[in-house]
Chains A and B, each alone.
Chain A
Amino acid sequence: MNKPSAVETKTRVIKKSKIDYSQGPPPVSINAAWCKACNICISLCPQNVLAADIEGKPVVAQEENCIQCGACWTHCPDFAIKSNYK
């Protein structure tokens, strides 16, 4: 039941993003009032940008890694994530 799947065991080299987020807004904005802490965005992020806070809701932890792939906001069922760069 809890054994890691073949997809999850693949290791992925995390590189820094080409976009510099230090000047502008964060790569993604999270509407915490609409978020239900389903963990999909944190789990699907290939670059480990998002991390869970104490309620399980995502926070932007490593913004310099975000490559704007869109995996978080296309899979968000609660319309709670939007990208500030796309």
Chain B
Amino acid sequence: MSIAAKEAGARQESDVVLRYLRPHVKFPNMWCPGCGNGVVATSLIRAIDKLGLDRDNVVLVSGIGCSSRMPVYLDFQALHTTHGRALAFATGVKFSRPDLKVIVITGDGDSLSIGGNHLIHACRRNIDITTILINNYIYGMTGGQISPTTPPGAHATTTPYGSAEKPFEACDLAKGAGATFIARTTVYHTTQMDRLMMEAIQHKGFSLVEVISNCHTYYGRLNRLGQATALLRMFQEKASVQDKGTNMVDDRTKDMIPTGIIHRDSEKTELCDEYQKLIDSLAKGKPA
């Protein structure tokens, strides 16, 4: 293939991101230099572009936090809500307009601590929402307090001698609560992230993609892990890419990060479909 043909065929691949940014927003973005949120944003754009979705039919819902600034920059329908309540608002959007693709961008503190109940009940209802949980192990925006996912022994501004608490496993929590598509990836594995986001958006039912991200400004600095590049190298070493489209064997030995599709269930019925069935049966005059 000649260079000209390559140029014509795949040009939108690398600058596709620029077509989906809001034109009137001031750039560069507000995230710290090297923050993984921007990597997740570009990956999400590539996934939506590859799926060929109309940008007017995609709703990005977010709460409060560093990661929740993402809908400010991306030119989709946006709903910027109160702290932790992104999934509650997204449930309302999806319930009233089931034709829309609803994507929730949330952080570990936003979705597991403040909005923990909204997460488990959205999982339980199995409503067709894609949740992208950016997990950086710490509260970044408010100044480096420990979050529900901070590993034991890790330092934060509220735990200067190391955390004594046990962390949440967001994927296990969602699986126990009844989510039907659960995947984990890191910001280093961008190709895998593109693929998992595409599968999560296409999945009918509640889907959760946990993206392990780097907060070198607080987590990396307080734990002496180095800059953004050092944290990315750490994810590269620690991640065990195991899935090949099937349910994955969980390998949590030696402090590894198992990545890939963790759980997928295509049997469970989706909430909007069930509700429509109920409406139809009542319209015929007999309760279901």
Contact size range, A: 20 to 34
B237 touching A7, Cβ below 8 Å? yes
**Is B29 part of the binding interface, using a Cβ–Cβ cutoff of 8 Å?**
yes
A33 touching B237, Cβ below 8 Å? no
From known contacts A7-B237, A8-B233, infer whether A79 and B228 are also in contact, taking CB-CB under 8 Å.
no
- Shortest CB–CB separation between residue B64 and chain A, in angstroms? 20
- Shortest CB–CB separation between residue B27 and chain A, in angstroms? 5
Bound complex: CA of A86 vs CA of B10, how far in Å? 5
Q: A77 is contacted by which of B10, B13, B21, B39 (Cβ under 8 Å)? A: B39
Q: B237 is contacted by which of A6, A76, A83 (Cβ under 8 Å)? A: A6
B33 touching A36, Cβ below 8 Å? yes
Q: Output the residue of A35, A44, A77, A78 with the most chain B CB within 10 A.
A: A77
Enumerate chain A residues within 8 angstroms of B38, measured Cβ to Cβ. Answer: 76-79
Could you mark each residue 57-86 of chain A with 1 if its beta carbon is under 8 Å from any beta carbon of chain B, else 0? 000000000000010011111111111111
Q: Give the A-B contact count at a CB cut-off of 8 A.
A: 100
B13 touching A86, Cβ below 8 Å? yes
Name the interface residues of A1-55: CB closer than 8 Å to any CB of B.
1-2, 5-8, 19-20, 24, 33-40, 43-44
A73 touching B14, Cβ below 8 Å? yes
Enumerate chain A residues within 8 angstroms of B120, measured Cβ to Cβ. Answer: none
A77 touching B6, Cβ below 8 Å? no
Q: B228 is contacted by which of A7, A35, A40 (Cβ under 8 Å)? A: A40
**Is B31 part of the binding interface, using a Cβ–Cβ cutoff of 8 Å?**
yes
A40 touching B232, Cβ below 8 Å? yes
Enumerate chain B residues within 8 angstroms of A2, measured Cβ to Cβ. Answer: 226
B3 touching A74, Cβ below 8 Å? no
- Shortest CB–CB separation between residue B13 and chain A, in angstroms? 5
Bound complex: CA of A84 vs CA of B191, how far in Å? 20
Bound complex: CA of A19 vs CA of B33, how far in Å? 31
- Shortest CB–CB separation between residue B30 and chain A, in angstroms? 11
Q: B27 is contacted by which of A1, A19, A74, A79 (Cβ under 8 Å)? A: A79
User: Closest chain A residue to B73 by CB distance?
Assistant: A79
**Is B34 part of the binding interface, using a Cβ–Cβ cutoff of 8 Å?**
yes
User: Closest chain B residue to A35 by CB distance?
Assistant: B28
Could you mark each residue 65-103 of chain B with 1 if its beta carbon is under 8 Å from any beta carbon of chain A, else 0? 000000000000000000000000000000000000000
**Apart from A20-B3, A86-B11: 4 A-B pairs, beta carbons within 8 A:** A36-B34, A38-B34, A39-B227, A85-B3
A-B contact pairs, 9 of them (CB 8 A): A5-B237, A36-B28, A40-B34, A75-B187, A77-B29, A77-B39, A83-B14, A84-B7, A86-B14
Question: What are the 6 A-B residue pairs with the smallest beta carbon separation, nearest first?
Answer: A77-B38, A38-B34, A36-B33, A38-B33, A43-B229, A83-B14
